[in-house]
Structure 1
Amino acid sequence: MTDNKIIETAKACIKFIEEDKGNSSFVNIERIMEQSGISTQEDEKGGWFVPWDIEYENIIVWDFNNGAMAEVWRAIFKCLEADNKIMELQVSQPLVYLVDGKVLTLPLAKSLRQYKKPHWLPVVLSIQDNK
């Protein structure tokens, strides 16, 4: 996977999130990756969990299927940082993901607390200026 392809895909994801005005699910981001030629099929290493934050490591907002998808996700943050912008995650209903066509099979996180096993917290993404 070339760095250029990763960066261009990250920029396409950012553009989509900005135009979607805070309604983007991770399913939408996966579609942008697919359209950009990034495989969304699971590889031999398995999934790459995206945690809510370091304090709540078992609250998972998404599970990317492979390393290339995780690389794009990391590149999104590098691009945002370069433009002095930040990604905001807003808690949403699982219905958003049902409508978009994909949900995680983890139990739902009902609150921000320490869970012993991974739980899914559905979120939508938005991009803001870093104040």
Structure 2
Amino acid sequence: MQRKRDNPTYSIGGRTQRLTERRRVVVAEINLIVAAVDGPRLIVHLGFQRDVLTLYGVRMALDYDAIVKYISAQGGVSIVEIARMLDEQGIPSKGDLRLHWPYEPVVIWDGASEGLLDVLRQLIADERIELNNTQPLVYIIDGAALTLPMADIKSVERKHPYKTARWLPVVFNKR
């Protein structure tokens, strides 16, 4: 007597279902898109491999326009605020990368993820947004500041060749 094999189960929307042979054949990959109003899109890739439902990867689609709208409405937006917005969208902002601007060794942020650096580079290149220097107090109030020595904006404008990394605190404003 041959023993009947149990089919694996999967759950969608809190409802558990058995993974039948027919479902295994028909479904090779599913893309679920969950969109929130003025929010990010969550794209989940699911697939079936050896009778087991597996999660191949989760990728958050950045809502860049929401960040630009926020900067346009608020003005004086620090990198800490932008990092917080990315975290709220499910995109990690902390990492081990450093962004130099307008030249090396002038640093505008340290300890950033690739996702945060991509957004900051886009904002710097965006014609609707401008970058202005600010006081470190803005970052202290926002909850994070760098411990590097400060760069003087007049020296930066003259492209002073600093020998060590210097922090230039900046904010983003509508142009």
- TM-score greater than 0.5 by the shorter chain: yes
Q: Structure 2 unaligned runs (5+)?
A: 1-57
Deviations, residues 9-60 of structure 1 (Å, cap 9, x unaligned): x222111111112x11111111111111111232xxx2131x221xx32111
Equivalent position of 1:106 in the other structure: 148
Q: Give the number of equivalent residue pairs.
A: 113
After TM superposition, where is structure 1 displaced by more than 2 Å over at least 4 residues in a row? 71-78
- Matches of 2:106 and 2:122, distance apart in 1: 22
Q: Structure 1 unaligned runs (5+)?
A: none
- Matches of 2:135 and 2:108, distance apart in 1: 12
- Matches of 1:17 and 1:89, distance apart in 2: 11
Q: Tell me which protein shows more strand as a share of its residues.
A: 2
Which amino acid is 1:106 matched to? L
Asked if 1:48 is matched to 2:98, the reply is: yes
Among all aligned residue pairs of Structure 1 and Structure 2, give the percentage whose two residues are the same amino acid. 34
**Given the alignment, which residue of 67, 77, 85 partners 1:24?**
77
Q: Give 1:75 deviation, angstroms.
A: 4.2
Q: Give 1:68 deviation, angstroms.
A: 1.9
Residue 91 to residue 72, structure 1, CA distance change in 2 (3 Å): closer
Asked if 1:92 is matched to 2:134, the reply is: yes
Asked if 1:126 is matched to 2:168, the reply is: no
- Note if contact 2:98-2:107 (Cα within 8 Å) is conserved in structure 1: no
- Matches of 1:15 and 1:114, distance apart in 2: 36
- Matches of 2:74 and 2:141, distance apart in 1: 16
- Note if contact 1:59-1:121 (Cα within 8 Å) is conserved in structure 2: yes
- Matches of 1:24 and 1:67, distance apart in 2: 20
- Note if contact 1:62-1:104 (Cα within 8 Å) is conserved in structure 2: yes
- Note if contact 1:13-1:76 (Cα within 8 Å) is conserved in structure 2: no
Query: Relative contact order (C-alpha < 8 Å, sep 6+): which is higher?
Result: 1
Residue 77 to residue 99, structure 1, CA distance change in 2 (3 Å): closer
